[in-house]
């Protein structure tokens, strides 16, 4: 049985349609991340799950119960927001235990439960303090403690790490993930940060303009994005997107782009392409290597001047100008290159994706090919 079902949810504020027929179902223990640019409707959807907003149409089911019209407190949920408003005059201990106090839980029981949660979050020593005596990260932990203490069916997080500095964000990201692994709770987590989505989620829903663009496991979303939006939104640096066209070639179809022509990669469904079709070729920066690939692998090899080099430490990004488009190769950190020079690059075409230029949708892979399969050899490069 699904733990949370978001069933055909739409939401309008007056004449503004903010959510369009959202369908998402997750199981107990799933970590669902709603990710997308600011304003795409993530918080509105989370608020509808929480019961803080009413949908215009559609239903919410938690643990199999239709809670669409239920009050927030009648739903088995707890929520952690970006601005974690703690009660300033109360100690950390009382802040965490406050919901139990309101529910009339006896003092001894309450104390024990708060201590348990504090141990889990490693904040036992903070229990006597007040919020003003805490750092941002510690306050965030207390806010999480407040949610954890209630043992709800589903935890809801709305950009809980946005106010933290970069280092702390990464630390807390790992801690939330560790907590999830230990407790096995069901989580819905909103973020605009695609790295948080990739690293934490068991399921990702990528949203844009109130529509779910794709719903799936992180690896599927990354390897087989539904469309150009998802392909370029998920991944940093983003996927390279080159205008291309399907053309007739000796004995079959080929992809023409830049000054080159390659055979349609073998993992692409040939029934889904036709000569004359305008497409985009998608290549992840990490699929572009310096020098040649081992013979036998299908590569697109090209020489190009590097405009800008961005050493990030573990990798070195080589930025190139392809006409109007920017093209990025993600090379090893010790790659020995300088800006302004030309180098030979090889893009691994077994990982290439094709998108229809009209619809933006990814062109299907051959039925049965779960992952992009190794492909054939280059047809008349430099044609
Ligand atoms: P996100 O969390 O993805 O940044 P939101 O869910 O906050 O996006 O907002 C989605 C859209 O709905 C935005 O265009 C926002 O301006 C609009 N919106 C949100 N809440 C209201 C409201 N109470 N009244 C009118 N418009 C709203
Ligand atoms: Mg928001």
Q: Is 191 in the pocket of ligand 1 (CB under 6 A)?
A: no
Taking the CA of 158 as reference, the closest ligand is 2
The residues facing 189 across adjacent strands are 33, 157
What distance in angstroms lies between residue 41's CA and the mean position of ligand 1's atoms? 6
Q: Which atom of ligand 1 is nearest to the CA of 38?
A: 4
Could you give the 3-state DSSP secondary structure of residue 69? coil
Could you give the 3-state DSSP secondary structure of residue 323? coil
What distance in angstroms lies between residue 45's CA and the mean position of ligand 1's atoms? 10
Taking the CA of 39 as reference, the closest ligand is 1
- Whether cis (ω within 30° of 0) applies to the bond prior to 237 is yes
**What is the DSSP code string of 80-133?**
E-SS----TTS-HHHHHHHHHHHTT--HHHHHHHHHHHHHHTT-GGGTTS-GGG
Q: Is 40 in the pocket of ligand 1 (CB under 6 A)?
A: yes
Q: Is 43 in the pocket of ligand 1 (CB under 6 A)?
A: yes
Measured between alpha carbons, how far is 183 from 201 in angstroms, rounded to an integer?
15
Give the model's pLDDT for residue 382.
33
Contact 203, 30 (CB under 8 A): yes
Regions of the chain with pLDDT less than 70: 1, 83-84, 369-383
CB neighbours (10 Å) of residue 85? 9
Chain centre to alpha carbon of residue 199: 8
pLDDT digits (tens, 9 = 90+) for 85-142: 899 999 999 999 999 999 899 999 999 999 999 998 889 999 999 999 999 888 988 9
Q: Which of 13, 15, 205 to mutate for ligand 1's pocket (most ligand atoms within 8 Å of CB)?
A: 13
What distance in angstroms lies between residue 158's CA and the mean position of ligand 2's atoms? 7
Q: Which atom of ligand 1 is nearest to the CA of 40?
A: 3
What distance in angstroms lies between residue 84's CA and the mean position of ligand 1's atoms? 20
φ/ψ bin of 8: left (φ > 0), alpha (ψ from -120 to 50), beta (otherwise) = left
| Atom 16, ligand 1: residue with shortest CA distance | 39
For residue 367, CA distances in Å to 166, 179, 271 come to: 42, 38, 10
Q: Is 39 in the pocket of ligand 1 (CB under 6 A)?
A: yes
- Within 8 A by CB and 6+ apart from 241, the residues are 228, 231, 232, 280, 281, 282, 325, 355
Contact 194, 35 (CB under 8 A): yes
**What is the DSSP code string of 198-237?**
HHH-SEEEEEETTEEEEEE-HHHHHHS-SBHHHHHHSSSS
Taking the CA of 14 as reference, the closest ligand is 1
Could you give the 3-state DSSP secondary structure of residue 263? strand
Taking the CA of 38 as reference, the closest ligand is 1
Measured between alpha carbons, how far is 231 from 252 in angstroms, rounded to an integer?
27
Give the model's pLDDT for residue 380.
34
Measured between alpha carbons, how far is 154 from 156 in angstroms, rounded to an integer?
7
Longest Cα separation, the chain? 81
Q: Is 41 in the pocket of ligand 1 (CB under 6 A)?
A: yes
Give the model's pLDDT for residue 315.
96
């Amino acid at each position: 049985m699904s733990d949370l079902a978001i069933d055909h949810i739409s939401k309008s504020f007056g004449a503004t349609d903010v959510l369009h027929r959202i369908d998402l179902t997750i199981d107990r223990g799933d970590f669902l991340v709603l990710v997308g640019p600011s304003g795409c409707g993530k918080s509105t959807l989370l608020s509808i799950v929480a019961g803080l907003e009413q949908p215009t149409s559609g239903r919410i089911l938690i643990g199999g119960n239709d809670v669409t019209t239920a009050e927030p407190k009648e739903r088995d949920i707890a929520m952690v927001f970006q601005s974690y408003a703690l009660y300033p005059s109360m100690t950390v201990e009382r802040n965490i235990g406050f919901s139990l106090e309101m529910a009339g839980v006896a003092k001894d029981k309450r104390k024990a439960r708060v201590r348990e949660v504090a141990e889990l979050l490693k904040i036992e020593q903070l229990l006597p303090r007040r919020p003003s005596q805490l750092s941002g990260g510690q306050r965030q932990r207390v806010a999480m403690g407040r949610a954890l203490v209630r043992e709800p069916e589903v935890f809801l997080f709305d950009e809980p790490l946005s106010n933290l500095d970069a280092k702390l964000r990464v630390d807390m990201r790992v801690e939330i993930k560790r907590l999830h692994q230990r407790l096995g709770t069901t989580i819905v987590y909103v973020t605009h940060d695609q790295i948080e989505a990739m690293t934490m989620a068991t399921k990702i829903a990528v949203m844009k303009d109130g529509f779910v663009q794709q719903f799936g496991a992180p690896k599927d979303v990354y390897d087989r994005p539904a469309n150009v939006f998802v392909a370029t939104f998920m991944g940093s640096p983003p996927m390279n997107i080159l205008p291309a066209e399907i053309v007739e070639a000796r004995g079959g179809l080929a992809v023409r782009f830049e000054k080159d022509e390659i055979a349609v990669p073998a993992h692409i469904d040939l029934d889904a392409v036709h000569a004359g079709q305008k497409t985009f070729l998608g290549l992840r920066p990490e699929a572009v290597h310096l020098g040649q690939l081992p013979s036998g692998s299908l590569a697109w090899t090209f020489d190009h001047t590097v405009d800008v080099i961005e050493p990030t430490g573990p990798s070195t990004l080589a930025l190139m100008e392809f006409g109007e488009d920017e093209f990025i190769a993600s090379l090893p950190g010790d790659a020995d290159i300088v800006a302004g020079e030309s180098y030979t690059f090889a893009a691994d075409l077994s990982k290439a994706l094709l998108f229809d230029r009209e619809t933006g949708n990814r062109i299907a892979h051959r039925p049965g090919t779960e992952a992009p399969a190794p492909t054939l050899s280059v047809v008349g490069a430099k044609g």
